[in-house]
């Protein structure tokens, strides 16, 4: 019986879980290794922060899905791989042998050495946004006299006395913009009017957009009590805030260095046209943790989702030793991107087309909920 091991419950692997029966019927035994029992969908993460969604609406129940599909679930992190011996070692030292390995472990927020203190919330993993939300709400309760919350929050005593909640969001990319808008929305809906939300951006927000769209977003944020500052933050001393949100870009996890596989220029696992490691055909890597050698791809969930059917088919072919059936990944063209700005508003765009305001939020909400419907039990 062939052993398929999946590392990480990212966007691409959840498709394999959903269709695992086809693989097990052809004689494979499947194991998924992931540190959490559920996988929060990042596209709805900012909406969770702003209060548009509940945790259950955005979190894919991976452990339950695995149980239903007859897939072994191991709650653990992968620590290292020996690709020649075909052995994976887990964080707790356990070792797993595999015939085919697939890696979908996402990316981390780029570390900023001087911004390491307790007030900092990184935008990944997405669970941090849930923690930030409850800490912001707890801080509000503390401000209005519920002293018990002070035990559980990072909110400072001086802030309590000042009765102002100051939040700094560092990074003017999509995640930073979405978090800033949704924090302002959360504070607004909880009656925390005495708040200061500041978005720090090295250049224009969403610098890769057209300048006109970028200006529209900045105007939207400013009219919803978010100050936008073109400043580079290098240390905590540069900002005066009770909560700091770090959205300064993502990079593949450092752990990949211990996977014994070649890395690409972006620090991800170098994969060929078939999503296979460039020097081990029985190892696949997908999503943010992969560097697609033929052309660099943005680290966005859209690509991890586009890789779903191809990864499934190629893994299936390899498990059946039908290597002639393996196909190339070709879906690298333009994609629909969108930001949820809070207050039930957003911006969706693809090439020269865009949609703004409430209609954009509604369409993004429809697309995201439709995606989740496939994976919620
Ligand atoms: C706030 C925010 C909003 C975003 N919104 C969008 C959006 O609207 N559209 C879009 O296209 N992109 C969006 N992105 C980008 C998107 O989150 C990523 O591109 C996407 O999550 C990548 O998917 P993935 O499948 O590669 O990995 P992930 O979805 O990050 O999944 C990785 C999985 O691997 C697990 N894992 C990590 N390390 C290990 C390990 N050592 N061993 C085992 N398991 C491990 C994790 O627990 C997780 O389950 C957003 C990002 C952020 C931060």
Give tens-digit pLDDT for 203-262.
Answer: 776 767 788 999 999 999 999 999 999 988 887 777 888 899 999 889 999 999 999 999
Which of left, alpha, beta for 94 (phi over 0: left; psi -120 to 50: alpha)? beta
Atom number of ligand 1 nearest to Cα 250: 53
- Which pLDDT belongs to residue 190? 87
Q: Which residue's CA is the closest to the ligand 1 atom numbered 2?
A: 175
Residues whose CB is less than 8 angstroms from the CB of residue 348 and which lie 6 or more positions away in sequence, other chains included: 336, 337, 338, 354, 355, 360, 363, 364
**What is d(CA 237, CA 234) in angstroms, rounded to the nearest whole number?**
8
Given the structure tokens 């791809």, which residue do they identify?
Answer: 297
Residue 114 lies in a domain: no
Residue 58 lies in a domain: no
Do residues 212 and 131 both lie within one domain?
yes
Atom number of ligand 1 nearest to Cα 106: 27
**Which of 5, 7, 8, 72 gets mutated to test ligand 1 (max ligand atoms within 8 A of its CB)?**
8
**What is d(CA 103, CA 252) in angstroms, rounded to the nearest whole number?**
12
Do residues 362 and 223 both lie within one domain?
yes
Q: Which residue's CA is the closest to the ligand 1 atom numbered 31?
A: 10
Of 266, 326, 255, the closest CA to residue 292 belongs to: 266
Do residues 133 and 165 both lie within one domain?
yes
Domain residues for the domain of 301 are 2-35+76-107+252-325
Atom number of ligand 1 nearest to Cα 299: 19
**What is d(CA 104, CA 6) in angstroms, rounded to the nearest whole number?**
8
**What is residue 254's three-state secondary structure?**
helix
Do residues 347 and 307 both lie within one domain?
no
Indicate which CATH number applies to the domain containing 266.
3.50.50.60
**Which of 42, 46, 178 gets mutated to test ligand 1 (max ligand atoms within 8 A of its CB)?**
42
- Which pLDDT belongs to residue 116? 65
Greater pLDDT, 377 or 122: 122
Residue 214 lies in a domain: yes
Do residues 207 and 87 both lie within one domain?
no
**What is d(CA 67, CA 243) in angstroms, rounded to the nearest whole number?**
39
Residue 68 lies in a domain: no
Inter-residue contact 24 to 30 (CB < 8 Å)? yes
Atom number of ligand 1 nearest to Cα 302: 11
Mean pLDDT, the chain, rounded, equals 91
Do residues 152 and 84 both lie within one domain?
no
Helix axes 174-189, 211-223, angle to 10 degrees: 20
> What phi and psi values does residue 132 have, to the nearest 5 degrees?
-60, -45
CA of 217 to the centre of ligand 1 (A): 24
- Which pLDDT belongs to residue 3? 98
Look up residue 322 and give its DSSP letter: -
Do residues 305 and 267 both lie within one domain?
yes
Do residues 240 and 160 both lie within one domain?
yes
In the predicted structure, residue 14 carries a pLDDT above the cut 80: yes
CA of 288 to the centre of ligand 1 (A): 7
CA of 301 to the centre of ligand 1 (A): 7
Do residues 86 and 223 both lie within one domain?
no
CA of 162 to the centre of ligand 1 (A): 37
Do residues 191 and 232 both lie within one domain?
yes
Q: Is the peptide bond before 71 cis (omega within 30 degrees of 0)?
A: no
Q: Is 196 exposed, middle or buried (0-12, 13-18, 19+ CB in 10 A)?
A: middle
Greater pLDDT, 295 or 204: 295
**What is residue 366's three-state secondary structure?**
helix
- Which pLDDT belongs to residue 113? 56
**Local confidence band at 79 (pLDDT 50, 70, 90 cut-offs):** very high
CA of 106 to the centre of ligand 1 (A): 5
Residue 70 lies in a domain: no
Residues whose CB is less than 8 angstroms from the CB of residue 346 and which lie 6 or more positions away in sequence, other chains included: 338, 339, 340, 356, 357, 360, 361, 364
Residues whose CB is less than 8 angstroms from the CB of residue 276 and which lie 6 or more positions away in sequence, other chains included: 282, 283, 284, 314
Do residues 227 and 347 both lie within one domain?
yes
Long-range own/partner contacts, residues 126-129 (CB < 8 A, 24 or more apart):
126/40, 126/41, 126/42, 126/45, 126/48, 126/58, 127/36, 127/40, 129/45, 129/46, 129/48, 129/49, 129/179
Do residues 244 and 152 both lie within one domain?
yes
In the predicted structure, residue 126 carries a pLDDT above the cut 70: yes
Q: Which residue's CA is the closest to the ligand 1 atom numbered 49?
A: 9
Indicate which CATH number applies to the domain containing 345.
3.50.50.100
Q: Which residue's CA is the closest to the ligand 1 atom numbered 8?
A: 43
Residue 12 lies in a domain: yes
Would you mind telling me the total number of residues written for the chain in this entry? 377
Q: Which residue's CA is the closest to the ligand 1 atom numbered 1?
A: 175
Residues facing residue 347 across a β-bridge: 339, 356
Q: Is 114 exposed, middle or buried (0-12, 13-18, 19+ CB in 10 A)?
A: exposed
How many structural domains does the chain have?
A: 2
**What is residue 116's three-state secondary structure?**
coil
**Which of 12, 49, 106 gets mutated to test ligand 1 (max ligand atoms within 8 A of its CB)?**
106
Q: CB within 6 Å of ligand 1 — which residues?
A: 7-12, 33-36, 39, 42-43, 45-46, 77-78, 104-106, 123-124, 175, 178, 253, 255, 287-289, 299-302, 304
**What is residue 68's three-state secondary structure?**
helix
Three-point CA angle 51, 57, 60, nearest 5°: 135
Residue 179 lies in a domain: yes
Look up residue 248 and give its DSSP letter: S
In the predicted structure, residue 147 carries a pLDDT above the cut 50: no
Atom number of ligand 1 nearest to Cα 77: 42
Helix axes 127-143, 174-189, angle to 10 degrees: 30
Residue 130 lies in a domain: yes
**What is d(CA 82, CA 223) in angstroms, rounded to the nearest whole number?**
54
Q: Which residue's CA is the closest to the ligand 1 atom numbered 52?
A: 175
Q: Which residue's CA is the closest to the ligand 1 atom numbered 50?
A: 42
In the predicted structure, residue 144 carries a pLDDT above the cut 60: no
């Amino acid at each position: 019986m062939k052993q398929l091991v999946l590392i990480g419950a990212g966007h691409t692997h959840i498709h394999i879980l959903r269709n695992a029966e086809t693989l097990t019927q052809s004689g494979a035994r499947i194991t998924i290794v992931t540190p959490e029992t559920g996988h929060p969908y990042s596209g709805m993460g900012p909406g969770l922060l702003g209060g548009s969604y509940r945790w259950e609406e955005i979190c894919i129940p991976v452990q339950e899905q695995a149980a239903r599909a007859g897939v072994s679930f191991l709650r653990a992190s992968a620590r290292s791989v020996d690709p020649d011996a075909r052995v994976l070692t887990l964080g707790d030292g356990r070792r797993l042998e595999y015939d085919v390995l697939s890696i979908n472990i996402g990316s981390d927020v780029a570390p900023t050495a001087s911004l390491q203190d307790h007030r900092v919330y990184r935008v990944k993993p997405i669970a941090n946004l849930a923690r930030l939300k409850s800490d912001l709400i707890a801080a509000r309760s503390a401000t209005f006299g519920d002293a018990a919350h002070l035990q559980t929050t990072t909110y400072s005593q001086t802030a309590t006395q000042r009765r102002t909640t100051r939040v700094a969001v560092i990074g003017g990319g999509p995640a930073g913009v979405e978090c800033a808008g949704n924090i302002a929305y959360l504070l607004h809906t909880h009656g925390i009017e005495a708040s200061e939300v500041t978005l720090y951006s090295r250049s224009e927000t969403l610098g890769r957009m057209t300048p006109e769209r970028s200006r529209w977003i900045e105007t939207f944020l400013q009219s919803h009590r978010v100050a936008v500052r073109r400043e580079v933050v290098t240390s905590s001393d540069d900002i005066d805030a009770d909560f700091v949100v770090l959205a300064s870009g993502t990079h593949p996890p450092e752990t990949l260095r211990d996977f014994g596989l070649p890395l690409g220029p972006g620090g991800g696992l170098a994969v060929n046209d078939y999503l296979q490691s460039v020097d081990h055909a029985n190892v696949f890597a997908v999503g943010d943790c992969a560097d697609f050698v033929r052309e660099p791809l943005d680290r966005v969930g859209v690509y991890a989702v586009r890789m779903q059917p191809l990864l499934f088919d190629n893994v299936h072919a390899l498990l059946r030793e039908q290597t002639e059936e393996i196909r190339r990944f070709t879906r690298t063209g333009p994609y629909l991107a969108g930001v949820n700005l809070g207050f039930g508003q957003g911006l969706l765009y693809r090439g020269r087309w865009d949609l703004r305001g409430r209609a954009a939020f509604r369409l993004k909400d429809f697309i995201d909920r439709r995606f989740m419907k496939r994976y919620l039990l």
